[in-house]
Amino acid sequence: MKVVEKMDFKNIKLKKALMIIYDIFAVNFSYFIVALLDTNGYTDDAKSALLERMLPVSIVFIVLYFAFGIYKSMWEYAGSKELLNLGIATGTGGIISISIDIIMSYLKFSQAKLDNGTFSAPFYIFGTLLTLTMVCSMRIGYRSLRRTMRNLEMKGKIDRIMIVGAGDMGMIIIKELEAGSYRKGKPIIAVDDNPLKKGQSIRGVTVKGNCNEIPELAKRYKIDTIIICIPSATDERQAEILHIAVSTGCHLKTAPSLLEMVEDSSSGVRDVNITDLLSRPEIKLDNSVCGYVTDKTVIVTGGGGSIGSELCRQISKYSPAKIIIFDIYENNAFILKNQLDRYYNGNPEIIIRIGSIRDEARLKEVFEEFHPQVVFHAAAHKHVPLMEANPGEAVKNNVFGTFNLAKTAVEFGVERFVSISTDKAVNPTNVMGATKRVTEMIIQYFERKCNNSTLFAAVRFGNVLGSSGSVIPLFTEQIKNGGPVTVTHPDITRYFMTIPEASQLVVQAGGMARGGEIFVLDMGEPVRIITLAENLIALSGHKPYVDIDIQFTGLRPGEKLYEELALEEEYDKRTMTANNKIFVTSPVDFDDNIFASQLEMLKGADNSQIRDILKLIVPNFHEQEIAEITD
């Protein structure tokens, strides 16, 4: 490394020395040429004066070039600012050279008498202009030569780029690519939905058509990369354009909005990911609704997990006094604490307590230590096939862990308790979904039992993109290994949302809770998993079924073809909240005494009895008949 640095330093010094020598030559050659062209003024006295002024004038120009940073500029990447500085320095040198000639003539250091007209005004004007032309030409020529050589070296390797959006952001991206000598790719064409822009050019890049023509234009112009630069477009239109672009098989990138670039200087062009394709307007948090956590002590169970950790991040925005991360697994909790401490500088205070919600005694220790006012309950077993094979563990953790936590919360006077549920709790076909439906009933049971001394609520949502154990990391790993990507059934569909979106819903629901509600997100249309797999393969730079195959493995035990967001009896009671993306269902009536006795039965059951008792508690729990795979 030191040898390389020494060689680079020597090269820089050599380049600077050669540039200084050239500038000295350019300055004096320019004035000699101008004097020579003036046949009337090219006398012996003038020749003598030209030779005598060479040293002081050269010194003046070189000193000025140093003062204006001309020799510090990397001329390969120079722009208008460097050229302006060079012009000012050269013009100043021309003016000072007049003073030098006057002083030398006055002191008779020069044999030439300026008052006899040895050097005329045109001599200084054209001499200075020629000097500027020569020094600029050398630098611009060097820049052009370097770029030409680099282009020749990278010929065939430079990505051919399509710019989607011929607006301000498109112009900025083209300018950045140009400034980087097209090392990250060269913009070949642009597209824009504005018909008036067709045929126009943006920094030399011609708009060839609209966004619907992307596949045809990408093929015609042999495009490698498509950069989406339309931050002002609606989320729906951006999603449409992304789906169109995915079909080309090109590498997709997206640019931030101008506001995002101002707010976050680190934001820039990034790869398009699956979240962009599934995006819709995310929930916006209402400060007045979420202020219930301000200056409060908040505990998040499962706080180191995918949802729990994002909950901690969202809650931190509203200045709670403390956040207690309660988790059985210490590594993720430790990483999260360090992240939050760095970002918020210890305010709020982040505290980790290791323990399990199964352990009621440990819960009481932690509640006795901190007396939390708000509880977010994210700890759960959620993997469907694993819970089918281990139903007793699902019951211990999901059902009785929640029961322990709710009981402890009431005992210690917690103000609000928000539990995370799932769409799999609706008409469940598996043990995991059935246990989560029981947890919803536990929330409503304790709400009635405590007479609103603690406000209980549950939040129900679908699959979370990128969460631990979800389909996206599985597909990504399969693609990385060369495939095949495995999908259980060609007709299987799921609702999807992002982790921040899910966490925002939970925080907002906590502020809306009045007791016993189940909040449900309007999640739009369900997504076919086969489409998700095809898009993810395409975003990875491969062609589905050609580079990476997709295989169908059949539905797993307890797996449904489609999910639902509300029970049949809940639909009639479902109402929209102040946030038009969040619905709320009123509690479904059930007998608390019978429910308590059923929980006692479940507590003492073995694995062979659990499913039957769950069906007793949750009458709409029916185990799925495995659907056949059809072409």
CB-based burial of residue 148 (10 Å sphere; 0-12 exposed, 13-18 middle, 19+ buried)?
A: exposed
Give the pLDDT of residue 110.
47
What per-residue string of b and e applies to 367-379 under the rule 16 or more CB within 10 Å gives b?
beebebbbbbbbb
Taking the C-alpha atoms of residue 257 and residue 267, their distance in angstroms, rounded to an integer, is 9
Residue 218 has pLDDT above 50, yes or no: yes
Q: Which of 259-263, 383-387, 391-395 has the highest mean pLDDT?
A: 391-395
From 520, 522, 558, 525, select the one nearest 382 (Cα to Cα): 558
Tell me how far the alpha carbon of residue 338 is from its chain's centroid.
21
Amino acid 628: pLDDT? 46
pLDDT at 301: 96
Average pLDDT over residues 576-602: 77
Percent of the chain with pLDDT over 70: 80
Range of weakest confidence among 264-278, 348-362, 448-462: 264-278
How buried is 533 (Cβ within 10 angstroms: 0-12 exposed, 13-18 middle, 19+ buried)? buried
DSSP string, 83-123: HHHHHHHHHHHHHHHHHHHHHHHHTT-SSS-GGGTSS-HHH
Binned at pLDDT 50, 70 and 90, residue 116 comes out as very low
Least confident of 254-263, 300-309, 436-445: 254-263
Place of tokens 């956590």: 293
Q: What are phi and psi of 487, to 5 degrees?
A: -120, 135
How far, in Å, CA of 472 to CA of 582, rounded? 25
Res. 297: pLDDT tops 90: yes
Backbone angles phi, psi at 358, to 5 degrees: -70, -25
Domain annotation for the chain: domains and CATH numbers = 2-153 (no CATH), 160-272 (3.40.50.720), 287-464+496-523+564-617 (3.40.50.720)
The dihedrals phi and psi of 472, each to the nearest 5 degrees, come to: -65, -50
The region, left, alpha or beta by phi > 0 then psi within -120 to 50, assigned to residue 222 is: left
pLDDT at 438: 95
Lowest mean pLDDT of 172-186, 258-272, 336-350, 353-367, name the range.
Answer: 258-272
Q: What is the pTM of this model?
A: 0.64
The model's confidence at residue 76, banded by pLDDT at 50, 70 and 90, is low
As a dihedral over the C-alpha atoms of residue 108, residue 112, residue 114, residue 117, rounded to 10 degrees, the angle is 160
Among 55-59, 143-147, 387-391, 481-485, which is the least confidently predicted range? 143-147
Cross-strand partners of 205: 202
* CA–CA distance, 230 with 326 (Å, rounded to integer): 42
Q: Which long-range contacts (CB under 8 A, 24 or more apart) does 218-223 make?
A: 218/162, 218/248, 218/250, 219/248, 221/160, 221/162, 221/188, 221/189, 222/160, 223/160, 223/161, 223/162, 223/188, 223/189, 223/248, 223/250
pLDDT tops 80 at residue 145:
no
Higher-confidence residue of 185 and 288: namely 185
Q: Given a cut of 80, is residue 256 above it in pLDDT?
A: no
Question: Active-site positions?
Answer: 424
Give dist(CA 622, CA 456) in Å, integer.
Answer: 28
257 confidence band (pLDDT: 50, 70, 90)? low
Per-residue pLDDT band at 3 (split at 50, 70, 90): very low
Q: Is the pLDDT of residue 476 over 70?
A: yes
Q: What is the DSSP letter of 400?
A: I
